[in-house]
Structure 1
Amino acid sequence: MDDRPVAPATSTLDVGMEAITRRLADSSVLASRNAMTEIDWKAPLDPTKHGCSPEWSTLYGTDYWDELTEEQRVTLTRHEFASTMTIGIWFEMALQKMVIRDQRSSPVQSEEFRFAMTEVADECRHSLMFALAAQKMVGTSYRPGPRVATLGRFFMNTAGGELAYGGILVAEEVLDVMQRGSLGDPRVLPMIQTINEIHVLEESRHMRFAREQVREAMAGAGRLRRETSAVLIALGAELIICSLVRPQAFSDAGLDRRRAVAAMLGNDHHHRMVRSGSVHLMQFLDEVGLLTPRAARIYARNHML
């Protein structure tokens, strides 16, 4: 069950971006946390604790998973979540670049500028937090494949409006769902529990900001723009979904890489988890006219719809 708080019905179209971003910026002052001081980074890790809830492993529910010992499963989930976090860093750096570029011409006294810079600062701290956690948990990091890296660089250097913020929203929503799925799970490392709590709390503000930017950008948009943007955002989501758990993570966990990748791609359980976790995102995209039939087919083939 998704227990995320329901976003207020009002949007920028009702009260304006300044009012929304003022509330978000004020909230960031009152409700922000710092993993650098909250987590004891020198404390040893419990060897029995997972990197994420086992149900969120890409192999959970497969024959391969059933063959693994509990120790192997723990190692696997740690490498999978390390991959998700370090690939997440790469996406967060793209996010920062797009937000900064979007705010270059904004009045620096505006509430929108204030919150946008707060978001960039949050993302910098999240990236450091993810990097330290991955290093401590598995001693390595992961990078996207060459194709995704090239397309990602092009996207972050050119995307604006609903494309930029739609892409940001998709990346944040996907990671948010996975982290929410492990909240409160005593099988998961306490360090990861704290990281998930911090990221979920602060990303909820970032996602609200992205939604409002998309709403504002799509107000009055014509059919061609809607169709084009919908497909491009869906293709961006495909790149994100396919990149989070790198094949190398399976090798590093001591598994047969080819067999693990095949099991992941055919894992109906994981597909259902992704689909149920994408409900709120799909509802929002439909609301703003960005869930067109062509885009829906892309989401469906990636098990998000």
Structure 2
Amino acid sequence: MSTVDRTRQASKAGESRKPKEPKPREQVAERLLKSSAGLWYDPELDLDWAAPLDEDKFFIPPELITLYGTPLWDSLSRAQRIELSRQELANTLSVGIWFENVLMELLVRLNYRKDPTSNHVQYAYTELADECRHSTMFGKVIDRIGARPYSPGFFWFNLGKVFPFLLRGSPMWVAALMGEEVFDVLQRDILRGGAEELQPLVHGVMRIHVTEEARHMRFAREALMRRQRKAGFVEKQFAKFIGGAAAVVLGTLLNNKEMYARAGLDAEQAHRQAKRNPHAHAQFRHGAARIVSFFSEKGVDVMGFPYSLLWRYAKLL
């Protein structure tokens, strides 16, 4: 073999050893990893846990309280309204902890047999670390505001233990987005409610969670779109069902009868008025509008009949 031939052969071998162009999911994960490294929070250090609570400030803006605009709401004193806001915040954070526990187990199972050197898996681990901090932060807030955590109830509690074994592929990402997107809209509304009316601690918690959850939603959206391109009929139908089931979960758990009792109200009367409150229904629809728009724009049909009945039952459509 001539020198020229050997040179050409070596050149071709070198070309074959060049690293391949990373897959789109690796590129997305790499950007999210860099963003996480550049901007993240430690709630233990970044929040002032010792600052006193202001007894005249709300824990969530009044217009986001489920009874807002009802006859019962009109009869409440400011102190009663503030106490109800305390209980509704504690309930919302408890639902968030429940959801994040389910999501963390899903992410662990997703990574179990995957390549730990990939950006995709490493970002999933990064999200796990974020969710651990968030759940810890939510628990500390519930304790700091003088409330007690709420249970999702026997049915949802036990279903949450089953979800990690059932959800794979599109259904997993649909469930993740339902929880993340609806809560994100709620949190952004809380931040827009005005710091002058809101407890400073709550404002700080929402700011942290909104910032870090934006990356989680980008990760889940990209994963869902990739999975949808190769999902079969059965998987897509199950994803539709999970979307509707998640809507029912949110509509049920965020309107917990017990929070009215803890606020010192007639629980039956308050729950009945909240369930019929058109203002609360509008807030639920507003919370779901962004994810509904995303599903529609990307052709992810999760709301077709009969699954749309679940969305309507939950007041998210």
In the alignment, the residues of structure 2 paired with residue 166 and residue 243 of structure 1 have an alpha-carbon distance, to the nearest angstrom, of 18
Is 1:21 the counterpart of 2:21 in the alignment? no
**What are the ranges of 5 or more consecutive residues in structure 2 without an aligned counterpart?**
1-21
Aligned equivalent of 2:82: 74
Is 1:93 the counterpart of 2:105 in the alignment? no
Deviations 1:113-162 (A, max 9, x none): 11100100000000111001111113311110111112221112321111
Aligned equivalent of 1:62: 70
Alignment map for 1:66-215 (pairs within 5 Å): 66-184=74-192, 185=194, 186-215=196-225
In the alignment, the residues of structure 1 paired with residue 311 and residue 38 of structure 2 have an alpha-carbon distance, to the nearest angstrom, of 36
Alignment map for 1:219-258 (pairs within 5 Å): 219-258=229-268
Stretches of 4+ moved more than 4 A in 1? Answer: none
TM-score by length of 1: 0.92
In the alignment, the residues of structure 1 paired with residue 231 and residue 116 of structure 2 have an alpha-carbon distance, to the nearest angstrom, of 27
Deviation at 1:217, TM superposition (A): 1.4
In the alignment, the residues of structure 2 paired with residue 108 and residue 140 of structure 1 have an alpha-carbon distance, to the nearest angstrom, of 38
* Higher Rg: 2
In the alignment, the residues of structure 2 paired with residue 81 and residue 143 of structure 1 have an alpha-carbon distance, to the nearest angstrom, of 14
Deviation at 1:272, TM superposition (A): 0.5
TM-score by length of 2: 0.88
Question: Quick one: structure 1 residues 15 and 275, their matched pair in 2 at CA, closer, same or farther if it must change by over 3 Å?
Answer: farther
Which amino acid in the other structure matches residue 101 of structure 1?
A: R
Calculate percent identity across the aligned residue pairs.
33
Q: RMSD of the TM alignment (CA)? A: 1.5
Which amino acid in the other structure matches residue 105 of structure 2?
A: K
Question: Quick one: structure 1 residues 156 and 244, their matched pair in 2 at CA, closer, same or farther if it must change by over 3 Å?
Answer: farther
Deviations 1:70-105 (A, max 9, x none): 111011011101110012101101100001101111
Single out whichever of 35-44 and 66-75 deviates more from structure 2.
35-44
- Contact kept, 8 Å, 2:26 with 2:120, in 1: the verdict is yes
Is 1:270 the counterpart of 2:280 in the alignment? yes
Aligned equivalent of 2:18: none
Single out whichever of 150-159 and 23-32 deviates more from structure 2.
150-159
Deviation at 1:15, TM superposition (A): 6.2
- Contact kept, 8 Å, 1:176 with 1:200, in 2: the verdict is yes
- Contact kept, 8 Å, 2:183 with 2:287, in 1: the verdict is no
Which amino acid in the other structure matches residue 74 of structure 1?
A: I
- Contact kept, 8 Å, 2:178 with 2:247, in 1: the verdict is yes
Which amino acid in the other structure matches residue 44 of structure 2?
A: M
Is 1:296 the counterpart of 2:308 in the alignment? yes
In the alignment, the residues of structure 2 paired with residue 73 and residue 221 of structure 1 have an alpha-carbon distance, to the nearest angstrom, of 48
